[in-house]
Structure 1
Amino acid sequence: MTDWSPLEAELERLQAPLPVWWRDDDAIADTPALDQLIEMAEGAGWPLHLAIIPAEANETLARRLRGCGSVVPVTHGWAHANNAPEGEKKAEFGAHRPVAEMAAEAGASRARLANVLGTEPAPMFVPPWNRIAPDLLPMLPEQRFSTISTFTPRKDAEAAPGLRRINTHLDPIDWRGSRSLVAPDRLIAQMACDLRDRREGRADAAEPYGLLTHHLVHDEAIWHFVADLLTRLSRAPLTLWDARAPHITEPTP
């Protein structure tokens, strides 16, 4: 049986509502997994930041998202293609291409996504594999992005002038092993440690704490953990961050 007490103890120590948000990566089409994801987000009352691969996004996704106010579309690179040399960590927008070329591609990605969806995505850029060349960051505001999102606690609130950083922090998938659920005790311990670091000043407590999921590869263990986590968090004082708005709000009861 999963022991949630380490996380619950940290949630009880909160001195202010915990800012949270949710990002799910790699959407391209309407699928049963996407339906399950959206239903889960709507049930929890959380905005769902759906990181969509522009080159692969199709009309079925656009139809599914029309009128779906709980989903916040954001730009997930261009084609989720690895441009890193062999032997280096995967990256589409890493330091392997001319920065001006990558900036133009990021802008084209946002424009293509807007064309497919029939509406502007939120002004967030999510680089595939959570890796991006530092020299590209100052050029993203010129491409109408105001937020960059990767993984792990941020060091600075601004990645570049006019570009805020809102990262994700908890990923339940064991990517290097089973590709199923990371041991729940490890995930609970990690989040409890993250909250303790924020409470004790070792991490930025103003950064919304981000849940990162990948609906297309979820198995039942992952779905169950995410649902259980959302239920546990619903009992704590929260505020919900939304890339479409300049502020955070309380979740709908």
Structure 2
Amino acid sequence: MSRWQALADEDARWGEAGRTATLWWRDDDAVDVSEPLDRLLAIARDTATPLALAVVPARATAALASHLAGEAGVDVLQHGYAHTNHAVAPEKKIEIGLQRPAMLTLGELGTGWMALEQRFGSQALAVMVPPWNRIAPVLVPTLPEIGYRGLSTFGPRPRVHPVRGLLQVNTHVDLIDWKGGRRFAGEETVVDALVASLSRARAGDGEPVGVLSHHLAMDAGAWDFLRSLWEIAKTLENVRVLGARELFGAEVRGQGGRG
């Protein structure tokens, strides 16, 4: 049985249960216009797939904002502040941690959001995507206090709302094998992970399943798979692909103009 057939079978199981699965797409580490970014946007346009682009505010260029301005279906999420690691080995990399005073970290995030909203306007959503998908748990309750309405990391979410006023919508399937040479994880591995995540969501509360890509780190296999995935997703009868704006709701929309 092909791996894609396993996905079709899982789609059928959602139909048999009278339910609809939700997929979404997040791509991390955007900072500037590049050939890989254009390739990413082409896939989004060609397959009519909404894209959530996690942008590093301290490094994002005016050229990037201008380039994305006309891209319907592309939402901008906040990818930390500068994507700087403050951990000391052997600790895992983290930017939003406790290695520095909390007020300094939160101040940077606030500065980053103001820059992001000014530059990207209503395209920016008040959703925090921590670099390396890590955030100190004690800092999560502070996010809604400083204006964030959404949080997105990796793996099954512990709760829909980690704290009042904060909705968590994660990614679950990474196209890249970071420990195995930073290359495409392979069709079998990725489709199996996708089917397993959909199955888990079906057995639970229907958590949206997120596909995670990194346009600056993808090889030919990852690019080919990404296009195939979204083309095939359109043929699944019981799977809908939503954008971050729909998943997180109207309250996360930026209100500023472009600067």
TM-score for both structures, normalised by structure 2? 0.88
* Change in CA separation of 1:53 and 1:247 when aligned onto 2, cut-off 3 Å: closer
Q: Deviations over 1:170-217 (max 9, x none)?
A: 10101111211112111121222222222233xx31x21101000011
Following TM superposition, by how much is the alpha carbon of 1:247 offset from its aligned partner in structure 2, in angstroms? 7.2
Following TM superposition, by how much is the alpha carbon of 1:160 offset from its aligned partner in structure 2, in angstroms? 1.3
Within the alignment, does 1:23 sit opposite 2:57 as a pair?
Answer: no
Matched residues in 2 for 1:238 and 1:76: separation? 27
Within the alignment, does 1:40 sit opposite 2:43 as a pair?
Answer: yes
* Change in CA separation of 1:180 and 1:211 when aligned onto 2, cut-off 3 Å: same
Q: 2:174 aligns with which of 164, 171, 185?
A: 171
Code of the aligned partner of 2:25: W
Alignment-derived partner of residue 213 in structure 2: 213
Structure (1/2) with the larger helix percentage: 2
**What aligned pairs does 1:52-63 form with structure 2 within 5 A after superposition?**
52-63=55-66
**What aligned pairs does 1:1-253 form with structure 2 within 5 A after superposition?**
3-14=3-14, 15=17, 16-119=19-122, 121-201=124-204, 204-205=205-206, 207-236=207-236, 237-245=238-246
Aligned residues: 245
Contact 2:21 2:198 in 1 (8 A): no
Contact 2:7 2:191 in 1 (8 A): yes
Following TM superposition, by how much is the alpha carbon of 1:101 offset from its aligned partner in structure 2, in angstroms? 2.2
Q: Deviations over 1:32-58 (max 9, x none)?
A: 111111111122222211000111111
Contact 1:93 1:133 in 2 (8 A): yes
Matched residues in 1 for 2:201 and 2:76: separation? 28
Runs of 4+ aligned structure 1 residues displaced above 6 Å come to: none
Alignment-derived partner of residue 251 in structure 1: none
Matched residues in 1 for 2:244 and 2:7: separation? 26
Q: Percent identity over the alignment?
A: 38
Code of the aligned partner of 1:30: V
Q: Whose RCO is larger (CA < 8 A, sep 6+)?
A: 2
Following TM superposition, by how much is the alpha carbon of 1:30 offset from its aligned partner in structure 2, in angstroms? 0.8
TM-score for both structures, normalised by structure 1? 0.90
SS in 2 for 1:159: coil
Q: Deviations over 1:107-161 (max 9, x none)?
A: 1111111233355611100000000011111111122210000000112001211
SS in 2 for 1:124: strand
Matched residues in 1 for 2:112 and 2:88: separation? 23
Contact 1:123 1:243 in 2 (8 A): no
Matched residues in 2 for 1:119 and 1:5: separation? 39
Code of the aligned partner of 2:245: R
Matched residues in 2 for 1:229 and 1:243: separation? 18
What RMSD, in angstroms, separates the aligned Cα atoms of the two structures?
1.9
Following TM superposition, by how much is the alpha carbon of 1:246 offset from its aligned partner in structure 2, in angstroms? 6.1
Code of the aligned partner of 2:228: D
